[in-house]
A and B are shown apart, each in its own frame.
Chain A
């Protein structure tokens, strides 16, 4: 049957999708989309452009001019704002937080997808909803809690959960778990059940079923989520702003706010700083674009 109808479909399907000769409508469409795309890129391009020009030149000739090319803004911004230190702070927070989030979320997702307990729907709801609550609505008790929980001095020089990397890692993990549980449990539910039957016949424990059967199969989803979570936790601003006090310990995204004072009158420096902060996310975006986009839509398309 398929051989009989295949050629016919081949002819009719492209007929509706065939690329027509350039019609005026098509041209208008392209012009419109190109204009929108350029408009969308413009603020970012403008920031890059501004960062590459000297303050003196733009101050005398105005920002709408060309010339005064220099890389000095990057050097100055990097030095005065101590970007190296702040990037490192971001690494200390982001890397453990992403790894922990993925590990803990995959554990819960595995149990939800693997076992059919009545409580699983409740569990899934509890995790997913936690990710959607407004952070500010939890701020007051969390702030109090963090200032009351002591940590040994070798873990945090504030000797509190407040103003420590540990506190920020924990709060980020608690918040991001929900999204990952949701995506991973959907992903795991789609894995064939036979796999587990076979694994059980072979006498595999639950842990082995999780670690050696399920996790390797979830690699695409984990990669997509990792990309997304790195971006989100790196970009996280609110918790670091309210749960940190020492300027030296701020991750780079929230340290931006402290930097503005220093750069206040010099937009060329502000733009160089902005570009520096954006670089890690832009690198991830261009290298792992497919993963990033897949991650964003994993949560939506397969609800």
Chain B
């Protein structure tokens, strides 16, 4: 791989222009005919227009709208700039905000502290070329192909108060989806169920790429299995670790489908994503207010996206 010219390779070694004036990048550019240049421009412009128009401009507009008092009715010219008032209102005068932040953090903690290590642990076990490993793997990542909305329904069969399996087996009478004290935990079990399989898959792919000589060297040094993993293998998996970290953060921030199918993110299941949606789609059309909530999500995610890009683009450069 490393001997292939990547993007940066051309720039790192500029062609000796004086000796071979036709070498390197210059020659390639000159060989592009006018049609070719139009084709290249179109190949980039059309997708770019779509992504900028439907993702980046709206993202920017969200930030701008968060400083206004627009209610979505009336001409855009009437929009009044209110500065940080929406943010102040969100924090001070909006009861679901604090529970939503707590639930988002809880979501992150549950996926990060329980589901992710468990997925990694299973990947390490399954990396050992066991008999029947394929069956175990398939069973574990099967939930990944289901939509989160569907997962909400599947788990309802276990959680339902009168018809659910959990209450029937435990002899309890808990409304797992309805009781605001327990429903977030019930939902987290379902979300974790799916997340474990995904994480296992990512680590399994990472472990397959680890140089076997590292393990052999560790074995020669007499390192125990646990020591080998934590001191030799785990550090090598750094790019995967960062990707998993970012995926987990983003997934917990974007979590939406599961709580929306249960009760539209109310009554114990508040999440930032659901609050934004409630403020726009429902009866109440509080554009500026909803945008302030959305901007909070945007900023948090951009921090982690930057970390992610820095990692993957650096990897690609090697």
Name A residues whose Cβ lies closer than 8 Å to a Cβ of B: 16-17, 29-30, 32-34, 36-38, 40-41, 43-44, 46-47, 50, 58, 62-64, 104-105, 107-108, 110-113, 115-116, 118, 120-121, 123-130, 132-145, 170-171, 173-175, 177-178, 181-182, 186, 189-190, 192-193, 200, 205-207, 210, 231, 234-238, 241-242, 253-254, 256-257, 260, 267, 270-271, 273-274, 277-278, 281-282, 284-285, 289, 292-293, 296-297, 300-303
Contacts and interface: CB of A to CB of B under 8 A. Distances in A.
B43 A210 contact: yes
A175 B55 contact: yes
Does more than half of chain A's interface fall in helix, strand or loop, or is it mixed? helix
Taking chain B's interface residues, is the majority helix, strand, or loop, or is none over half, making it mixed?
Answer: helix
A133 B311 contact: no
A177 B54 CA distance: 12
Instruction: Indicate the member of A123, A237, A253 with the most B CB atoms within 10 Å.
Output: A237
A104 B47 contact: yes
B201 to A, nearest CB: 6
Interface of B: 1, 4-11, 25, 28, 31-33, 35-36, 39-40, 43-44, 46-48, 50-59, 61-62, 65, 72, 122, 125-126, 128-130, 132, 135-136, 138-150, 153-158, 160, 163-165, 168-169, 193, 196-198, 201-202, 204-206, 208-209, 215-216, 219, 239-240, 243, 246, 250, 253-254, 256-257, 260-261, 272-273, 276-277, 280-281, 287, 290-291, 294-295, 297-298, 301-302, 304-305, 308-309, 311-313, 315-316
A120 B313 CA distance: 11
Contact of A141 (B35, B58, B141, B154): B58
B153 A256 contact: yes
A125 B144 contact: no
A141 B298 CA distance: 14
A270 B156 contact: yes
A287 B65 CA distance: 47
A132 B55 CA distance: 11
A40 B197 contact: yes
B176 to A, nearest CB: 13
Given A193-B5, A205-B39, A296-B201, A142 B58 contact: yes
B165 A108 contact: no
Nearest to B247: A300
B39 A190 contact: no
Contacts of A257: 149, 260-261
Contacts of B219: 16
A43 B44 contact: no
A202 to B, nearest CB: 12
Contact of A260 (B144, B153, B198): B153
Contacts of A186: 316
Contact of B7 (A37, A174, A189, A297): A189
A64 B294 CA distance: 44
Nearest to B52: A126
A134 B308 contact: no
Given A64-B168, A285-B142, A132 B305 contact: yes
Instruction: Tell which of B8, B58, B196, B216 has the most Cβ of chain A within 10 Å.
Output: B58
A269 to B, nearest CB: 11
Cβ-closest 9 pairs across A and B? A235-B147, A297-B205, A303-B315, A37-B139, A174-B54, A141-B61, A107-B43, A141-B58, A104-B47
B102 to A, nearest CB: 18
A253 B150 contact: yes
Given A173-B50, A174-B55, A193-B5, A139 B146 contact: no
B305 A29 contact: no
Nearest to B41: A111
Contacts of A134: 250, 253-254, 273, 297-298, 301
A140 B50 contact: no
Contact of B58 (A62, A120, A138): A138
A117 B193 CA distance: 43
